[in-house]
Chains A and B, each alone.
Chain A
């Protein structure tokens, strides 16, 4: 079904792409204004003295107080330009680069839907989403088109399908299905909700949420692809994401992003009808479809993109141990609201001789949010240990050794020692290899 979309050179209506561009632009506009308004620019990117960078992207650093606000202002402007379809191509390129830059500053702010936004922005860079109902077309900067190659819609549907199906597959584990964790832990905290609140302590509700969630994620795409079941399926999209927004407000913009993006599954006629409600439409347009002048290159790139997107979420299979515990291959894999994990991390620095020792006050270097995220994620623990070593080196301690005593609880299992507290983490390199210093989940 999804695959069929790509081979075809057939052209389809541009309307779904246009709706997508407008809703995406508006959501980004709202999302960024909200981000600004809540003071998160300062809290996340100005105040912290240290940032957990991504491997290979250590050069991505915050741009200072003015710089960060300026960058977000530019992103907000770009989101507006994308919505209007004005200077679309430069606007979406800047948006993609700028947004991704912000997300790369600190791993502790990673959210699946930020990653999704980066990917979608990247795709939109290449798609002719401004060829209709845009100011670019209105002012005659570009030739308007009514039809586009079919894969331009298909690639966005593929991206959506990927999020849902991988999110569904990730839920097929014993904790989720048989123990209804973490739902069983999370739902009692929702007992304040009207009407449904009183059921939140009941186990069957946790099982209902878990199984319904898994089933929804696994199959919704197929019902959205089928013309007959599509309207009902979209009803479920609305219901499901409205429920997640209500029950888990901390998930932020994710439900709204998915509700808007799922519209891409509707037909060209549907979107034409949708756009017909909007004012200032141009009616008389040339009939010949939009053509990529680099058609073969585009086809090749699409194949590469699809393969990468299919492989990245399953890279965890290369690692031994429990994925939820080691988190090797956890990010960038559409594992959304999948586990309840919390840690407490205590670090001790020793000098070369091991005779002198200092305990580390994490609050001195990290924000509470950073400390919380670091305390249960091995790669962040290692990065922090290296940073602490650097700090002590700068203070004049030669060859500092850093030891971590970390306890983590996962999905309601009693907390236990997480990393080998006898290992000098300062000497451990960050690598793709399995972490030999993380203790196994089961045997301690």
Chain B
């Protein structure tokens, strides 16, 4: 009879099962994936090597230039020196938009985006910090909105900003600006260092699509960024949450007047991630999955949404109130794009729009 063999099999499977169930790692990237998939490996290598790592390198370089320019302004505060620094500021903020979408792995571990781009800035908290000299940048949530680009936006470009750098509290104010700059540079270079370290390999060899896999991160971030466009970037300042009462000063880059450029750059970069730049991206993966029509539909919708954003008259912060039809149109097109990502694309790539690991059937 076969009893002992079956018993053994059952015992092995059950032990294995409990062991396996208890050792699965939570939400982190699979450290030792097996098997291979040349397409996925190639796609992820393209993302890491040609898009993500260069994006952080570019941001790092732009921040260095910005620091030099801002120091020039701080050493000799005037409208002229500020004007001289503004292109560097714009270049750095636009460069950030190419990294905004890849908020997972090292960036997420360092809370990079939270610290570097939580808007609107908490202006009175910033002023209190300057006055007391008592501020900390390393407390999650609490110190999110007193640093990063939004803090610089307020400190450098708010009305009468220049004058405040010559007043009695100007040394404290200058120190605050320098601290913000230093903090941004550190965060970005630490993120870049991790990407250039072991994280890159684990990203490129993560071939699954479950929670915590590279493909799931990418698709989820597409949805997340579009949700942010629909929410804090455009929708909320436009009054979508507040019965159409406009909160123009809550938009991204309000004081510097860069709102529109930033939004367009954000979406343009997102599209670039979607198509994978000049290499293979999620769009090509969809084609491999025999979803060519969907791949093209999403690509086309990106273009429609970008044109709709471009059609909003400058400055965008004024258009929220003055040109609601154009803003509404852009909002609708972004929502259409978000819908495609959250439903068809997520479905086709077997990605769940959630960051929480869970069982399903």
Contact A343–B335 (Cβ < 8 Å): no
Given A231-B6, A242-B13, A407-B343, check contact A193 B22 (CB 8 Å): no
How far does the Cβ of A260 sit from chain B's closest Cβ, in whole Å?
6
Contacts A189-B349, A234-B6, A238-B10 supplied; 11 other A-B pairs, CB < 8 Å: A30-B22, A34-B21, A37-B22, A38-B357, A111-B361, A260-B10, A270-B3, A277-B7, A342-B342, A408-B343, A409-B347
Q: Are B359 and A250 in contact (CB under 8 A)?
A: yes
Cα-based distance from A407 to B342 in the complex (angstroms): 9
B9 CB within 8 Å of chain A: yes
Using a CB-CB cutoff of 8 Å, which residues 6-36 of chain A contact chain B?
23, 26-27, 30-31, 33-34
Contacts of A23 in B (CB 8 A): 14
When the two chains form their complex, are residues B209 and A189 in contact, meaning their CB atoms are under 8 A apart?
Answer: yes
Contact (Cβ within 8 A) A358 B7: no
A62–B89 alpha-carbon span in the complex (Å):
49
| Residues of B1-22 contacting chain A, CB below 8 A | 1-3, 6-7, 9-10, 13-14, 17-18, 20-22
Q: How far is the CB of A364 from chain B (nearest CB, A)?
A: 9
Pairwise interchain contact A412-B347, C-beta atoms closer than 8 A: yes
Digitize B203-226: 1 where CB-to-A-CB distance is under 8 Å, 0 elsewhere. 000011110000100000000000
Please determine whether A415 and B343 come into contact, CB atoms closer than 8 angstroms.
yes
A interface: dominant SS: helix
Complex interface: chain A residues within 8 A of B178 (CB): none
Interface size class of B (residues with CB under 8 A): 35 or more
B18, B26, B231, B349: most-surrounded residue (chain A CB, <10 A): B18
A441 to chain B, nearest CB (A): 14
- In the complex, 16 of the A-B residue pairs with CB atoms within 8 angstroms, ordered by the A residue number, are A30-B22, A33-B22, A38-B357, A186-B350, A188-B288, A194-B34, A198-B37, A201-B289, A250-B359, A251-B359, A253-B17, A253-B21, A270-B3, A336-B361, A340-B347, A372-B352
Q: State the CA gap A274–B5 with chains docked (Å).
A: 11
Alpha-carbon distance A189/B297, docked complex (angstroms): 22
Report which B residues bind A (CB closer than 8 A): 1-3, 6-7, 9-10, 13-14, 17-18, 20-22, 24, 26, 33-37, 40, 207-210, 215, 227, 231, 235, 240-244, 288-289, 291, 294, 335, 338-340, 342-344, 346-350, 352-361
A56 interface residue per 8 A CB criterion: no
Q: Which residues of B contact A361 (CB under 8 A)?
A: 231, 241
- Interface on A for B, CB 8 Å cutoff? 23, 26-27, 30-31, 33-34, 37-40, 43-44, 109, 111-113, 185-186, 188-189, 191-195, 197-198, 201, 231, 234, 238, 242, 245, 249-256, 259-260, 263, 270, 273-274, 277, 336-337, 340-344, 346, 356-359, 361, 363, 367-369, 371-372, 375, 407-409, 412, 414-415
**Residues in B whose Cβ lies below 8 Å from that of A375:** 342
Taking CB atoms, residues of chain A closer than 8 Å to B242 are: 358
- Ranked nearest first, the 3 interchain pairs of A and B with the lowest CB-CB distance are A252-B359, A192-B207, A189-B350
